[in-house]
Amino acid sequence: MKITNEIYMLEIPANIMGTSSIINPTLLRDNEKVILVDTGFPGQLSKIREAIENEGVAFYDLGMVILTHQDIDHVGNTSSIIKEIQNNVKVFTHKEEKPFIDGEKKPIKLAQFEAKLDYLPENMKEIYSKLKAGFESSKVNVDYTMTDGEELPYCGGILVIYTPGHTPGHISLYLKRYKTLIAGDLLQIHNGKLILAPESTNFDMNLTKMSLKKLLNYDIETVICYHGGIYKDDTNKRIAELGDLL
Ligand SMILES: [Zn+2]
């Protein structure tokens, strides 16, 4: 879905723990660069490619992948994209998140599964095995680590906002020209309402709260949530409300 000439929200069908859903990587492009923010579940390369091409953007023009965080639905096709485009794609993420993405540390969701593996029912053990294999195949070298407040010189300026909480190194991106926030999994939309990711999926709720406060420094008109899509309804006020609830 085209949001502006430089911002496209992709809509990729996915199955999350048995429930069919849509995930929303964002495609950014200007005259210089084509950037994909988050890459879907492992095995979705052809869907991602198709979604990019349906927006009239050449898949092979992709030059950069920005990963908001380490979770499998966000990192899943990064390595296959690089393989397909032959190393011309650079991978960006926050430095706190890098070791989980390049395989130096065990991804948090996998470690959480492992801690309770003996007590899990068979079907959950199967999900665990899939997740483990998925992370294994998704390990990827990170080319560049971004810091809080850094501005990437594309699409009128992409501000990197360090918004830990969902994971230790989660980032959000603020597109200055469009007053648009790419929220990763800091925020979601459910039944038309902007909400937080479920507490069970958050690494640290105190950090989440601080991250929400931080967002209030920005004039945000539009939010793109990886789970839920676009939100535009008095956004800063709603974010403030969410912060107060915690
Ligand atoms: Zn997610």
> pLDDT, tens digit, for every residue of 77-103?
999 999 999 878 999 999 999 999 999
Q: How far is the CA of 199 from the centre of ligand 1 (A)?
A: 13
Partners of residue 36 on adjacent β-strands: 27, 65
CB 141 within 8 A of CB 134: no
CB 65 within 8 A of CB 78: yes
Tally of CB atoms within 10 A around 42: 22
Work out the average pLDDT over 59-77: 97
How big is the chain by its Cα radius of gyration, in Å?
A: 17
CA distance 143 to 140: 9
Q: How far is the CA of 155 from the centre of ligand 1 (A)?
A: 24
Q: How confident is the model at residue 200 (pLDDT cuts 50, 70, 90)?
A: confident
Q: What's the pLDDT score for residue 87?
A: 73
The dihedral over CA atoms of 116, 122, 124, 126, expressed in degrees to the nearest 10, equals 110
Beta strand residue intervals within the chain, DSSP E: 2-4, 7-9, 12-16, 19-23, 26-29, 34-37, 62-66, 90-94, 144-146, 151-152, 158-162, 171-175, 180-182, 187-190, 193-196, 222-225, 229-231
Q: How far is the CA of 75 from the centre of ligand 1 (A)?
A: 10
Ion ligand 1 neighbours (CB, 5 A) are 71, 73, 185
Percent of the chain with pLDDT over 70: 99
DSSP per residue, 160-205: EEE--SSSTT-EEEEEGGGTEEE-TTSEEEETTEEEEPPGGG-S-H
Q: How far is the CA of 115 from the centre of ligand 1 (A)?
A: 21
The dihedral over CA atoms of 130, 21, 26, 81, expressed in degrees to the nearest 10, equals 30
Q: What's the pLDDT score for residue 197?
A: 87
Tally of CB atoms within 10 A around 118: 7
Q: What's the pLDDT score for residue 246?
A: 62
Q: How far is the CA of 110 from the centre of ligand 1 (A)?
A: 14
Work out the average pLDDT over 169-197: 96
Q: How far is the CA of 135 from the centre of ligand 1 (A)?
A: 14
Say which residues have a Cβ less than 8 Å from residue 49's Cβ, sequence separation at least 6.
59, 84
Q: Where are the domains of the chain?
A: 2-245
Q: How far is the CA of 92 from the centre of ligand 1 (A)?
A: 17
Q: Which of 25-39, 115-129, 204-218 has the highest mean pLDDT?
A: 25-39
Q: What's the pLDDT score for residue 110?
A: 94
Topology at the third CATH level for domain 2-245: Metallo-beta-lactamase; Chain A (3.60.15)
Structure tokens at 103: 């395989």
Work out the average pLDDT over 146-167: 97
224 residue type, one letter? I
Work out the average pLDDT over 175-198: 95
